[in-house]
């Protein structure tokens, strides 16, 4: 059985963190039915800015390992973000590349691409074959390559190489390797052999048309490439390196996708697993969590040995520039900003087995992933050799569904082999930059807080003075174009607080309290709002049961920390805008530790906060008073 052993090249001592690249897809006019222009744009190779949804005159800046702008080619994405991690697989280490982002933002384009523009998957697999070919015979190792391909659809693990299979279980062995018993693992001897299996299997992936994407991926597609290297001497040492290439399903806002029925169910499963992924990222990020919730979704369970644990990971967060993707883009950027702080510890997955009889050996290999018997391996090796020897593209003729892919990849291969990989130096820079980036994140947080203060001041003074943009660029400021449709929507979105109807019974309550509890003969509303406008808590708050108050505070705190947009809007005096502000604050700062933290949320002035608290207390009084009325009426024989 494969075991984790310290990497001979010292890999276990080094740490490598998840590299985060952000890719902005080109602006697609037809997707922007309101013609509002882009809401996000790149500043340089690592920075981008997005319009601040709280104030369209401002932008929020983000810094990532790499920013791929709209013009970036598939090859550039591969060279800078993926190619550098691939050699680790040949050393028995794990690597993973996953594309994250809202539906329609370009994940499948990035991972799979098209026959004209092949994406990360075909390029990475081709590169693995090239690396193996270059190593073969050297250093006394034999190599074999195998593949599995699966999708997670509605929380079911389905084998794309064997499409009629049932939901497969996910297991973990003693050495914490993730295994999927029953999953097809096919030995592949060449790139064309890989393509023969991969292309038809891709068509088995569950896709459907949604309002936002005509061919939307409804599942997480995970391609596993396993490289097994076996020592040529009698020691039988074997190392297994895994490469996960993951095209995640898009994060979706069902109000925009218009999903219903089965689409809605799929969407629920997609969002749940992505939510768990973000929780896993959060836990890993904080570094303090006792339990990382990998087991809460199939996706995170499967990625367990490639995220936050053992693998060299790259996340490509895909974003779209159209305004209608704004909220998803903002969420994706915040998710990605968290992910870049995860630290992975590379390990080598190696077995040291006693020499075994050929039959037993074949079985052991089958159990470890079906990397093939000795004659099979020889065949693979021969095939790889003959492929290497072949010089003309016609030598690579194959029966795949899309032959042009192969020709283009052959041309690509030549290009890559002759080109210079500038990325190794860049990789070194990232290590030195990590500390700096943490500081920058803190700085960004401080910036947010000072902006929030400024906003409060301005709101308080009701100043009509024009606000300065938060980030000055030489380029024209990024501003949202006016759209009539938006104006109408905004009006529709205004939620009128039900103050009159909910505060109405309070008068009765105050009277009841006066009679039954014998408190000061003072109107409750007077106590809540004394003439000087200051809250006189000592006169009325002390009349309440403090434990009830505390329970109430805790309940609100729970909603603030874990409530959805809808839950937040369910709180009195929290409308759509404020609920979003709270979500935004939570996204950036984490949980509220006490209710008073709410005042840190933009727009939540001291006065507003105090009136928010008053309503809470009033409602609590209301409920206490209501029970008192019931009790009193019951005693007097009055039916409710």
Ligand X SMILES: Nc1ncnc2c1ncn2[C@@H]1O[C@H](COP(=O)(O)OP(=O)(O)OP(=O)(O)O)[C@@H](O)[C@H]1O
Q: Is 251 or 373 the residue whose CB approaches ligand X more closely?
A: 251
Nearest distance from residue 595's CB to ligand X, in Å?
38
Nearest distance from residue 120's CB to ligand X, in Å?
12
Nearest distance from residue 108's CB to ligand X, in Å?
3
Q: How many Å apart are CA 476 and CA 363, to the nearest integer? A: 65
Nearest distance from residue 206's CB to ligand X, in Å?
10
101 in a known ligand binding site: yes
Q: Is 17 or 107 the residue whose CB approaches ligand X more closely?
A: 107
Q: Is 215 or 363 the residue whose CB approaches ligand X more closely?
A: 215
Q: How many Å apart are CA 169 and CA 225, to the nearest integer? A: 19
Q: Is 264 or 352 the residue whose CB approaches ligand X more closely?
A: 264
11 in a known ligand binding site: no
Question: What are the C-alpha distances in Å from 442 to residues 365, 435, 446, 512, 555?
Answer: 49, 11, 6, 52, 30
Nearest distance from residue 42's CB to ligand X, in Å?
13
102 in a known ligand binding site: yes
276 in a known ligand binding site: no
Question: What are the C-alpha distances in Å from 101 to residues 38, 111, 141, 249?
Answer: 17, 12, 39, 8
CB 344 within 8 Å of CB 15: yes
Spell 159-192 as b/e; 16+ CB within 10 A means b.
bbbbeeeeebebeeeeeebbbbeebbbbbbbbbb
Reading phi first (left if > 0) and then psi (alpha if -120 to 50, else beta), residue 311 is in beta
Nearest distance from residue 273's CB to ligand X, in Å?
13
Q: How many Å apart are CA 287 and CA 265, to the nearest integer? A: 33
Nearest distance from residue 26's CB to ligand X, in Å?
5
Q: Is 66 or 621 the residue whose CB approaches ligand X more closely?
A: 66
Q: What phi, psi does 268 have (nearest 5°)? A: -60, -45
Nearest distance from residue 318's CB to ligand X, in Å?
5
Q: Is 105 or 187 the residue whose CB approaches ligand X more closely?
A: 105
Q: Is 25 or 384 the residue whose CB approaches ligand X more closely?
A: 25
639 in a known ligand binding site: no
CB 65 within 8 Å of CB 215: no
Contact residues for ligand X (CB under 6 A)?
25-26, 101, 103-109, 213, 216-217, 249-250, 318
171-172 and 178-179 beta bridge pairing: antiparallel
Q: How many Å apart are CA 370 and CA 510, to the nearest integer? A: 77
CB 520 within 8 Å of CB 539: yes
Q: Is 217 or 624 the residue whose CB approaches ligand X more closely?
A: 217
Q: Is 21 or 187 the residue whose CB approaches ligand X more closely?
A: 21
DSSP 364: H
Q: Which residues, at least 6 apart from 197, have a Cβ–Cβ distance to it below 8 Å? A: 147, 149, 161, 186, 188
Nearest distance from residue 267's CB to ligand X, in Å?
11
Nearest distance from residue 573's CB to ligand X, in Å?
37
Nearest distance from residue 249's CB to ligand X, in Å?
6
Q: Is 70 or 382 the residue whose CB approaches ligand X more closely?
A: 70
To the nearest 10°, the Cα dihedral for 199, 200, 203, 206?
Answer: -110
Reading phi first (left if > 0) and then psi (alpha if -120 to 50, else beta), residue 35 is in left
Question: Residue 267's CB: how many other CB atoms inside 10 A?
Answer: 23
Strand partners, 432: none
Q: Is 109 or 312 the residue whose CB approaches ligand X more closely?
A: 109
Question: Nearest Cα to 317, choosing from 292, 339, 296, 343?
Answer: 339
- In this structure, what token pair is assigned to residue 410? 């052959």
Q: How many Å apart are CA 326 and CA 596, to the nearest integer? A: 29
Q: Could you give the count of Cα atoms lying within 13 Å of 268 in the half-sphere of its Cβ? A: 6
DSSP 79: I
3-state secondary structure 193-260: HHHHHHHHHHCCCCEECCCCCCCEECCEEEEEEEEEEEECCCCCEEEEEEEEEEECCCECCHHHHCCC
103 in a known ligand binding site: yes
CA Rg value for the chain: 30
Strand partners, 314: 19, 97
Helix (H) or strand (E) holding 317: strand 311-319
Q: Which contacts qualify for 179-184: CB closer than 8 Å, 24 or more apart?
A: 180/148, 180/150, 180/302, 183/148, 183/150, 183/157, 183/159, 184/148, 184/149, 184/159
Q: Is 92 or 101 the residue whose CB approaches ligand X more closely?
A: 101
Nearest distance from residue 566's CB to ligand X, in Å?
24
Q: Is 2 or 221 the residue whose CB approaches ligand X more closely?
A: 221
Work out the burial of residue 399: count CB atoms within 10 Å of its CB; fewer than 13 is exposed, 13-18 middle, 19 or more buried: exposed
As a whole number of Å, the end-to-end CA separation of the chain is: 72
Nearest distance from residue 164's CB to ligand X, in Å?
24
Nearest distance from residue 250's CB to ligand X, in Å?
3
Q: Is 29 or 439 the residue whose CB approaches ligand X more closely?
A: 29
Can you say which residues are annotated as belonging to the binding site for ATP? Answer: 101-108
Can you say which residues are annotated as belonging to the binding site? Answer: 101-108
């Amino acid at each position: 059985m494969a075991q984790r052993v310290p990497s001979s090249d010292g890999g276990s001592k080094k740490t490598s963190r998840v590299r985060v690249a952000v890719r902005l897809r080109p602006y697609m006019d037809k997707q922007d039915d309101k013609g509002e222009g882009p809401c996000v744009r790149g500043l340089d190779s690592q920075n981008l800015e997005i319009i601040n949804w709280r104030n369209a005159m401002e932008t929020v800046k983000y810094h990532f390992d790499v920013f791929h702008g709209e013009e970036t080619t598939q090859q550039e994405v591969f060279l800078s973000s993926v190619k550098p991690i691939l050699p680790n697989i040949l050393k028995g280490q794990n690597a993973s590349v996953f594309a994250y982002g809202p539906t329609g933002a370009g994940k499948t384009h990035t991972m799979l691409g098209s026959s004209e523009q092949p994406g990360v998957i075909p390029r990475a697999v081709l590169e693995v074959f090239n690396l193996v070919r270059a190593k073969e015979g050297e250093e006394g190792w034999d190599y074999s390559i195998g593949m599995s391909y699966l999708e997670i659809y509605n929380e079911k693990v389905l084998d794309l190489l064997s499409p009629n299979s049932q939901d497969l279980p996910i297991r973990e062995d003693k050495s914490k390797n993730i295994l999927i018993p029953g999953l097809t693992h096919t030995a592949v001897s060449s790139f064309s052999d890989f393509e023969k299996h991969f292309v038809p299997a891709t068509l088995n992936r569950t896709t459907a048309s949604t309002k936002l994407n005509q061919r939307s991926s409804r599942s997480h597609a995970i391609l596993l490439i396993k490289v097994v290297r076996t020592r040529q001497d009698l020691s039988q040492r074997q190392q297994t390196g895994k490469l996960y290439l993951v095209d995640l399903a898009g994060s979706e806002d069902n109000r925009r996708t218009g999903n219903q029925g089965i689409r809605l169910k799929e969407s629920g499963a997609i969002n749940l697993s992505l939510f768990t992924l973000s929780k896993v990222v959060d836990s890993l990020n904080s570094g303090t969590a006792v339990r990382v919730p990998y087991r809460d979704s199939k996706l995170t369970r499967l990625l367990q040995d490639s995220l936050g644990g053992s693998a060299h990971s790259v996340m490509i967060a895909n974003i779209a520039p159209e305004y209608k993707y704004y909220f998803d883009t903002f969420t994706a950027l915040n998710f990605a900003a968290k992910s870049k702080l995860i630290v992975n510890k590379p390990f080598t997955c190696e077995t040291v087995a006693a020499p075994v009889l050929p039959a037993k050996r074949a079985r052991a290999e089958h159990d470890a992933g079906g990397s093939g018997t000795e004659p099979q391996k020889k065949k693979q090796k021969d095939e790889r050799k003959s492929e290497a020897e072949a010089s003309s593209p016609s030598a690579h003729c194959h029966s795949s569904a899309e032959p042009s892919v192969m020709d283009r990849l052959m041309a690509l291969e030549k290009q890559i082999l002759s080109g210079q990989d500038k990325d190794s130096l860049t990789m070194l820079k990232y290590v030195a930059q990590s500390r700096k980036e943490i500081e920058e994140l803190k700085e960004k947080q401080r910036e947010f807080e000072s902006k929030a203060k400024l906003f409060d001041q301005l709101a308080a003074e009701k100043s009509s003075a024009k606000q300065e943009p938060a980030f000055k660029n030489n380029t024209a400021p990024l501003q949202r174009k006016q759209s009539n449709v938006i104006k109408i929507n905004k009006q529709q979105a205004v939620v009128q607080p039900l103050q009159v109807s909910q505060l109405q019974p309070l008068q009765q309550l105050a009277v009841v309290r006066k009679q039954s509890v014998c408190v000061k003969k003072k109107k409750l509303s007077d106590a809540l709002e004394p003439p000087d406008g200051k809250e006189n808590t000592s006169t009325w708050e002390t009349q309440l049961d403090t434990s009830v108050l505390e329970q109430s505070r805790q309940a609100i705190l729970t909603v603030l920390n874990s409530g959805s947009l809808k839950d937040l809007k369910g709180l009195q005096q929290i409308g759509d805008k404020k609920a979003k502000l709270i979500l935004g604050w939570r996204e950036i700062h984490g949980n509220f530790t006490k209710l008073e933290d709410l005042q840190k949320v933009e727009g939540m002035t001291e006065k507003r906060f105090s009136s928010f608290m008053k309503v809470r207390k009033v409602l609590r009084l209301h409920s206490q008073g209501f029970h008192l009325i019931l009790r009193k009426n019951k005693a007097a024989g009055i039916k409710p």
